[in-house]
């Protein structure tokens, strides 16, 4: 007679492309390491850091926080450094994705990979969650998830590519 015992729960099945994404450590990058972008740093701190660190300010005033920020420009203008500084400052995950990995010729596959990417990021979140998706078209897309506002923002990256 055999008894079947559950030893452990198997993890949710994740697409290998999503599973092999680089879950990078943003490093210890401070805002002082980003030179010449003080206006951009101020705007990013107001739209990303402030809603996550002080959500009661938005509730008290009665306004909704921004849903996302789009960083774009030619290579070497500080987009990566800004992203790393913000992720390091608010202790968030830094998930780097190459656009060629999520673009697929079959209808619905890109959307499925993006859904799985956000699910994977949520499953591996630390305290606050920021998903950073790097598109090698010179476009950066930030979306954030804030539990206090119960807001899920899914941004269709396939329309950008």
pLDDT for the residue 151: 32
CA atoms within 13 A on the CB side of 49: 18
Determine the Cα–Cα distance for residues 52 and 122; give it in Å rounded to an integer. Answer: 16
Cα dihedral: 78, 52, 119, 74 (round 10): -10
Along the 161 residues of the chain, how does pLDDT read in single tens digits?
667 776 666 566 766 666 666 556 667 888 888 888 999 999 999 998 888 888 888 889 888 888 778 888 888 888 888 988 888 888 777 777 767 777 778 888 888 888 887 777 777 665 444 444 444 334 444 444 333 333 333 333 334 44
Determine the Cα–Cα distance for residues 1 and 48; give it in Å rounded to an integer. Answer: 59
Question: In the chain, where are the structural domains located?
Answer: 24-159
Q: Which fold has domain 24-159?
A: Rossmann fold (3.40.50)
Instruction: Kindly state the helix (H) or strand (E) to which residue 41 belongs, with its residue range.
Output: helix 38-44
For 115, the token pair is 């859904």
């Amino acid at each position: 007679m055999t008894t079947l015992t559950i030893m452990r729960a198997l993890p949710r099945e994740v697409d290998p492309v999503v599973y092999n994404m680089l879950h990078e450590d943003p490093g210890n990058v401070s805002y002082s390491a980003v030179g010449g972008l003080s206006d951009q740093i101020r705007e990013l701190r107001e739209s990303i850091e402030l809603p996550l660190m002080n959500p009661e300010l938005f509730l008290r005033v009665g306004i909704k926080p921004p849903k996302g920020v789009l960083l774009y420009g030619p290579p070497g203008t500080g987009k990566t450094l800004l992203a790393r500084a913000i992720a390091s400052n608010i202790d968030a995950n830094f998930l780097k994705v190459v656009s060629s990995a999520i673009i697929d010729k079959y209808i619905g596959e890109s959307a499925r990979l993006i859904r799985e990417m956000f699910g994977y990021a949520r499953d591996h979140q630390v305290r606050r969650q920021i998903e950073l998706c790097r598109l090698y078209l010179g476009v950066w897309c930030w979306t954030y998830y804030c539990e206090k506002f119960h807001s899920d923002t899914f941004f269709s990256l396939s329309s950008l590519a």
